[in-house]
């Protein structure tokens, strides 16, 4: 579908949103988890997409509400560390 840019899903949507500072809600560098990733970091970006953003997603993706994420985050291994880092920005 049109949601894939190269090998990264939704990359075009994020890059397009970055062109408009009002659409960027968070854009930060965060430290990677300690230990084996010492001195590594990740750039975490949350952007607002427009009305034309397609809600169609690849078969192995799912949309979740904030309430569903809040419930899942209580359990280990349900929400990965990268997603938890993004959620910490909200």
Helix (H, G, I), strand (E, B) or coil at 21: helix
Query: What gap in Å lies between CA 78 and CA 86, rounded to an integer?
Result: 15
- Under DSSP, the state recorded for 2 is T
Residue 1 pLDDT > 60, yes or no? no
Domain that holds residue 25: 4-89
Average pLDDT over residues 31-38: 75
What total of structural domains would you count in the chain? 1
Average pLDDT over residues 71-87: 89
Provide the β-strand partners of residue 43.
29
Helix (H, G, I), strand (E, B) or coil at 28: strand
pLDDT at residue 50, as a whole number: 83
Query: What gap in Å lies between CA 82 and CA 31, rounded to an integer?
Result: 11
Q: Domain holding 30: CATH number?
A: 3.90.79.40
For 51-76, what is each residue's pLDDT tens digit?
888 888 888 889 999 999 999 999 99
Average pLDDT over residues 13-35: 87
The H-or-E segment that residue 5 falls in is strand 4-5
Q: What is the pTM of this model?
A: 0.73
pLDDT at residue 3, as a whole number: 56
pLDDT at residue 64, as a whole number: 92
């Amino acid at each position: 579908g049109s949601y894939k840019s190269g090998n990264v899903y939704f990359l075009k949507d994020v890059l397009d949103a970055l062109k408009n500072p009002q659409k960027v809600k968070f854009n930060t560098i965060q430290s990677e988890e300690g230990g084996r990733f010492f001195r590594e970091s990740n750039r975490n970006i949350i952007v607002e997409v427009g009305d034309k953003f397609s809600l169609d997603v690849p078969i192995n993706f799912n949309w979740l509400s904030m309430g569903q994420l809040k419930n899942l985050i209580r359990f280990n291994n349900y929400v990965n560390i990268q997603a938890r880092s993004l959620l910490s920005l909200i």
